[in-house]
Structure 1
Amino acid sequence: MELESVPGVGAKTAAALRELDDPERALSEGDVTTLARAPGISEGRAARIARGAIRAEHGDPGGFAATPRAREIFGEALGLLQERTVTDYAAKRLETLYPSGVRERIEEVRSFTERAMEREPDPDVRAALAGVEPLSEPGDVRVRDRCLATSDAERYAEAQEAIPEVSVEVVDDARQLAELARSYSTVVALDEAFAGVDVEGDVRVEPDALSEPASVVPERVLTFFARNRDRVRAAAEVHRVAGLDAPCDLGTLADALEQLDADGSVRGDDELDRLSTAVDDLDAAVSTAESVANDHLRDAIEERDVTIEGTDLLSLVERGAGVDSLLQRELADEYAAAVEKARDHLVDALRLRDTEATARRAFPDEPAYPVERQEDVVSRLREELTAARDRRATRRKRELADDLAEMRSDAESLVTAALELDVELAVARFAADFECTLPEVTDEGGFEIEGGRSPLLDVAFEEVEPVDYGVSGVTVLSGVNSGGKTSTLDLVALVTTLAHMGLPVPAESARIGRVAELHYHAKTQGTLDAGAFEATLREFGGLVTDVAADRPVMVLVDELESITEPGAAATIIAGILESLAEREVTAVFVSHLADDILEASDADLAIDGIQAEGLVDGELRVNRSPVKGKLARSTPELIVEKLADDGGDEGFYSGLLGKFE
């Protein structure tokens, strides 16, 4: 896919998208979260780009929601779905769904919807989903204890790009390689020419290292899993609870993750723990060993009476001898025992093995008081322990990284499947909450809705009265005030929008004629001034002129008469309806001027009415389903009729009632 061919993607945006590992996949799958990782692209823009890519794939020109109110209906429908997601990913993913007049796109989403509606919205699954997020790619891994070495400038540039986590050094010969080995715990030479070179330190010749970066930097894999450990575990739990087929053995994955610490280090290795503890506790153990030796020696001195004859004392003074000579002469055995205790304590406290010989040289054989460590030996012991620890850690990292690297794609599939399940469950919950069904989308005009209930009303859904309504061609919908005319238009717009999104609709059944555009004009508040009135007429003029057979439209208009004086409004609406009827448009115009419109029109317009059944205790009772071919009675007529039925008016109310006939 050419990135610049996607609507809304110019050269700058395409350059940002190319920073991603696989932008084409993200576009084709509508992966909004991944697209939003591109520099300078917000999540909202990512959703628009994904929608643009889908439209380009299906040759969809867009523009279905052609008016502000139509776009509001789409936004409210999308909001109802997003309210039923658990993860942010699913909420963003749903933004790639949009109403389309292209059958191929509608059918594509319907296939997804059919699968989704088979899902059971289990609360336990929702709870497990709470911990799932898209996997993140750590970009801050830096390893300072090893480096790559090469004598080739081109290889140097390749190494910097392939394995940016470590330093890359240029060396010309074995001497420079040896210098690097003294500065780094591990040096990986990339040139075959260094094979067989005898250099002190951990120097490995690996010409293929750039093709296997995990062997050089296992931290890359380990950090990835460490950062995403909780997300992978949560996704695994979703699979267990939901009974999804996992792409790998979840127990094996769990065991591997259990060996990983939050910082990417390996845990659960006794030998590595022993060496790490020895390095950390070395100074404290040496100090304690000194105390052990000195306490033993002090006790020995206090328990013995040392007698020095005059000639011996004179001899010691003449030789410049001090207490060390005295110790060697009088307490040599006790000193040796004290030093042995110190050595034993150091070896036992640090649980030393291969480095025991070095540790025992930390305290000298020559008598001295107090007994003190030999700093050069302790430093050498620290170096040996640190090197052993690092070698063990590196080996364990490689082993674990090898295991986890083989499971990375499975882990990604695991998380993706869990996130996509949340998208499906949102649709399933929407369908269940609003008792939805998949509508029939036909190439015939008009619509037929049975038992439709709008979730957009400000009442609990279970209290919404069902509506049956169907229209073919152009119709004027009449009805009493507060009788449900606007809510009926909203229901028709919502069902039409959802059907063209490929989603279920809140009705017992529905047939929707496929259209390319939905023009829904909401009621205008107050009479428009001359300029706004002219603009409104131009909009309808353009709509009538631009309607083409290959791009059918649905027009819903709520009380257009509010834009001007009632007398002129009826004539204007009649003219608009005549023009729409000639072009076989599906249209519903709500109006209180139905009689006047029919009288002003030369066309045979259909008339439907939301019928009031009467007044009960001052409350209007209405049949919410429009009656075909029947003008609705007005609220004033009902009030007059009630007063006439009550009698006592000496013919006044009866006379008024007759005026309505």
Structure 2
Amino acid sequence: MELEAIPGVGSKTATALSELDDPERALRTGDVAELASAPGITEGRAAAIARGAIRERHGDPGGFLATDRAKELYRDALGLLKDRTVTSYGDKRLETLYPSGVESRIQEVQEFAERAVERDPDPEVLDALADVEPLAEPRDVTVRDRCLATADAERYSEAQRAIPELTVEVVEDARDLADLARGYSTVIALDEAFAGVAVDGDVRVEPDALERPAEVVPERVLAFYASNRECLQAAARVHRVAGIDPPLDLDALESALERVNSEGTVVGDDELDRLTRAIDDLDAAVSTAESVANDALRTAIEEQDVTVEGSDLLSLVEQGAGVDSLLSRELSDEHAEAVAQAREELIESLELDSGEAEVARRAFPEEPTFPVERDEEVVTRLREDLQAAKDRRAARRKRELAADLADRRDDAERLVRTALELDVELAIARFAADFDCVMPEFVPEPSESGDSTRGSSSRGASGFDISGGRSPLLDVAFEAVEPVDYDVSGVALLSGVNSGGKTSTLDLVALVTILAHMGLPVPAESVRIQRFGELHYHAKTQGTLDAGAFEATLREFAGLATGGTRTSSEDADAGGNRLVLVDELESITEPGASAKIIAGILEELRGRDVTGVFVSHLAAEIREMADYDVPVDGIEAQGLEDGELVVNRSPVKNHLARSTPELIVEKLAGGAGTASNGSSGGRSDPRDGDSSEEFYDRLLEKF
């Protein structure tokens, strides 16, 4: 995939994306988390890039949401889905779903959604998902006890790129290697020319080291698992609870994760733990051993009757002898026993093995002294031996564990990706369950575009046909929303009483259209819908528009009437038909001109590739002014109860609905009764003395 061919991706962004391990996979699968890990790419930007890649792959020209109101409803629909995600990944991943008029894209998401709605949103699964997040790549892994060495400049640069965790040194000969060996515990020479060179220290000649990074710097592998330990464990729990087949052995993975802590250190190795304790406790153990020896020797001296003849004492003094000589002569056995106790105390307290114990014994010399004291050189030697053994053990365990985990990384990444994608699927499943959704059926394109005939024979042939639709965007509990049945083929006027649900019906049609073209289930009992290329939703304006805004509105309708700016190939790929929803266009200008303008617009749209619903209180006037029989549907109010409208929310086909004022006058006419006639003071008008009921009857006749 050519990165710069993706809409919205320039050279700078393409360079950043190219640093990913597999940018094509991330773009193909819409992996927002992976895309966002590229330098300088935010999650929001990553979602936009993923959408651009999808559009490029499906040849989608975009522009389905052609008006601000259409875009607003899309964000509302997306918000309902996002509310049902658990992970931040799921939230961003859903942003790669967008309404499209391209058949291949719709089908692609439909297949995904059909699998998703079969998922069971078990609370235990959702709870496990809470700890799953995109895998992080450790950025600051640095190892200071090892280095790479080479005499070749190209090799030097290659090594820096391949293994940035280690310092790369330039050397010329064996002397340089020897110098490095004094500063590093391990030197890895990359040049074959150094093979056979004898140098003190741990110097290895490994020309293929750069091809084996997991062995050379196992810290890289361990740091990855250490950083993502909790996430991987959570992903494993998700697979178990959800009953998903994992890409690797979960028990083996969890066992391996238990052997590395959050700092990337190998844990759970008894021998390594013993060596660590021995090093940490060495000074304290030596001091304790000294005390044991001196306490024993002091007790022996206090209990021993030592008799020294005068001539012996004089001889000892003349010889310059001190207490050591006296101990050697009189308490040699007791001193040897005290030293033996000190040695055993040191060996046992540090749990030293036979080789280490041999060195430890020399920490307390056999020569008689009081008090008994350690040999610092021997103690230092013991510490160095223990540290060296620990380093060797740790390095070996790191290499073993890293080699084991390195082979599982791809599967571990799939494990987490599957869990994160499950969150997206469960969000769709929860959405579908919460709002009683079904998958919509897309009907074939009508054989003759521009057919504006309506009636039972055309029901569902084109346009849309919604049965039992309920909008989850209303400000009432979803269970309380009345279902709506509505179908339109061609362009229709929608009439109805104030607050009868005309705008809500338009919102429902728009929402169903948006979700269907996203490839998602829709909140209805059934939906048949034509594939549209654009959705134009003009919301009701507040007040009359100024001349400039009015002109702009007319220009937009002129574009609809003339087919817009798309090429014929784009129309074919993205659905040539447009859905136009207009809410009280008469509010944009003076009432006297509104009916004429709307009638003219309907005449221009007739016979075009347009399906439309125009909500208007001027339906009768518009129909009179139009040069054809404009279809009019009505949301019929059945009456007033306690001052509240009783409304049939489903539009009635080919019916001009009565207005609210008409209903009120009708109610008054039927319930006013006979008013008191009283004297009129000699009025000559024949209506003098009429009852209020007659007054209401005459008003009702005006309707």
TM bucket (normalised to shorter chain) is over 0.9
SS of 1:101's partner is coil
DSSP 3-state at the match of 1:155: helix
Structure 1 distance, partners of 2:592, 2:329, is 132
Report what 2:455 is aligned to: none
Residue 549 of structure 2 corresponds to 532
Partner amino acid for 1:639?
I
Q: 1:12-53 CA deviation, whole Å, 9 max, x = no partner?
A: 211222232222221111111111122222211111111011
The separation in 2 between residues aligned to 1:243 and 1:457, in whole angstroms, is 37
Query: 2:700 is aligned with what amino acid?
Result: L
- Of 82-91 and 307-316, deviating more is 307-316
Deviation at 1:650, TM superposition (A): 4.6
Q: 2:629 aligns with which of 593, 604, 613?
A: 604
Correspondence 1:349 to 2:331:
no
Matched residue type, 2:335: Y
Alignment partner, residue 217 of structure 2: 217
Which residue does 1:424 correspond to in 2? 425
Post-superposition CA distance 1:165-197 (Å, at most 9, x none)? 112223333333333333322222222233333
Q: Which structure 1 residue ranges, 5 or more long, are not aligned? A: none
Pairwise CA distance, 1:656 = 1.3
Instruction: State the alpha-carbon separation in 1 of the partners of residues 228 and 542 from structure 2.
Output: 53
In the alignment, structure 1 residue 656 sits paired with structure 2 residue 669? no
**1:431-470 matched pairs, under 5 angstroms:** 431-442=432-443, 443-444=445-446, 445-470=462-487
Q: Secondary structure, in 3 states, of the residue corresponding to 2:96?
A: coil
Which letter maps to 1:560?
A: L
Paired residue type of 1:152:
D
**Equivalents in 2 of 1:531, 1:467: separation in Å?**
37
**Matched residue of 2:532: which SS?**
coil
> Which one of 548, 562, 567 corresponds to residue 587 of structure 2?
562
- Distance 1:31-1:511 versus aligned 2 partners, 3 A rule: same
Question: Contact (CA 8 Å) 1:453, 1:467: kept in 2 or not?
Answer: yes
Give the superposition deviation at 1:250.
Answer: 1.4
Name 1:372's counterpart in structure 2: 373
Q: Which amino acid is 1:526 matched to?
A: G
1:141-181 per-position Cα deviation (integer Å, ceiling 9, x unaligned): 11112222223222222111111111222333333333333
Kindly provide the amino acid, as one letter, of the partner of residue 540 in structure 1: F
Instruction: Show CA shifts across 1:444-490 (max 9, x none).
Output: 44111111111110111111111000111111100100000000000
The one-letter amino acid of 2:484's match is: V
User: Residue by residue, what CA displacement relative to the aligned partner does 1:505-556 show, whole Å, maximum 9, x if unpaired?
Assistant: 1111111111111010111011122222222222222332334773321110
Render the CA deviation track for 1:268-292: whole Å, top value 9, x for unaligned.
2111111111111111111111111
> What does the per-residue CA deviation read over 1:390-419, in whole Å, with 9 as the maximum and x for residues that have no partner?
101111111111111121111111111111
Q: What's the CA shift for 1:127?
A: 1.2
Q: Deviations over 1:572-618 (max 9, x none)?
A: 11111111113241111111111111122113211010000011122
TM-score scaled to structure 2, two decimals?
0.91
Per-residue CA distance 1:378-399 (angstroms, 9 max, x = gap): 1111110000011011111111
Deviation, structure 1 residue 426: 0.9
Distance 1:376 1:169 in 2: 33
Q: CA RMSD in A?
A: 1.6
Distance 2:402 2:422 in 1: 29
SS in 1 for 2:407: helix
3-state SS in 2 of match to 1:355? helix
Pair 1:271 & 2:271 matched: yes
**Residue identity opposite 1:559 in structure 2:** E
Partner residue of 1:409? 410
Match for residue 255 of structure 1?
255
Number of the residue aligned with 2:362 = 361
Work out whether 1:645 is the aligned partner of 2:670.
yes
Report how many aligned residue pairs link the two structures: 660
Distance in 1 (CA, whole Å) between partners of 2:419 and 2:274 is 39
Question: Which of 186-195 and 492-501 deviates more?
Answer: 186-195
Deviations 1:240-293 (A, max 9, x none): 111111112212222222222222222221111111111111111111111111
Structure 2 alignment gaps of length 5 or more: 447-461, 675-691
Partner-residue secondary structure (3-state), 2:366: coil
Percent identity for Structure 1 against Structure 2: 72
Give runs of aligned pairs for residues 443-522 of structure 1, distance below 5 A: 443-444=445-446, 445-522=462-539
2:176, 2:383 → 1: CA distance? 25
Q: Supply the distance in 1 between the matched residues of 2:501 and 2:434 (Cα, whole angstroms).
A: 22
* Contact kept? 2:669, 2:693, Cα under 8 Å: no
* 8 Å contact kept, 1:185–1:387: no
Q: Structure 1's 315 and 175: CA in aligned 2 closer, same or farther, altered over 3 A? A: farther
- Per-residue deviation, residues 275-312 of structure 1 (Å, max 9, x unmatched): 11111111111111111111111111222233344444
1:219 alignment partner AA: E
Q: Counterpart of 2:468 in structure 1: which amino acid?
A: G
Whole-angstrom CA distance in 2 between matches of 1:650 and 1:599: 31
Which residue of structure 1 lines up, in the alignment, with residue 459 of structure 2?
none
| In 2, Cα distance between equivalents of 1:359 and 1:76 | 75
1:180 aligns with: 180
- Equivalences for residues 185-264 of structure 1 within 5 A: 185-264=185-264
Q: Which residue of 2 aligns with 1:78?
A: 78
1-structure distance, mates of 2:294, 2:159: 55
What is the CA–CA distance in structure 2 between the aligned matches of 1:544 and 1:559, rounded to whole Å? Answer: 19
Matches within 5 A, 1:111-122: 111-122=111-122
Q: Distance in 1 between matches of 2:408 and 2:402?
A: 10
How many angstroms apart in 2 are the aligned matches of 1:420 and 1:190? 43
**C-alpha distance in 1 between matches for 2:243 and 2:40:** 39
Aligned-partner Cα distance in 1 for 2:544–2:152: 80
Q: Is the 8 A contact 2:578 2:609 kept in 1?
A: no
Distance 1:471 1:507, change over 3 A: same
Instruction: Give the Cα–Cα distance (whole angstroms) in 2 for the partners of residues 190 and 16 of structure 1.
Output: 31
Structure 1 position 122, deviation (Å) = 1.5
Letter in 2 for 1:653: Y
TM-score, with structure 1 as normaliser: 0.97
- Matched letter for residue 25 of structure 2: R
Provide the secondary structure at the position in 2 that maps to 1:555: strand
Q: Which consecutive aligned stretches of 4+ in structure 1 deviate over 6 angstroms post-superposition?
A: none
Please state whether the residue corresponding to 2:120 is helix, strand or coil: coil
Aligned-pair CA distance for 1:205: 2.4
Higher mean C-alpha displacement, 65-74 vs 14-23: 14-23
* 1:395 aligned partner, one-letter code: R
In the alignment, which residue of structure 1 is the partner of 2:332? 332
More moved, 616-625 vs 251-260: 251-260
Per the alignment, residue 288 of structure 1 pairs with 288
- The letter of the residue matching 2:34 is T
Is the aligned partner of 1:307 residue 2:307?
Answer: yes
Contact 1:439/1:504 (8 A) holds in 2: yes
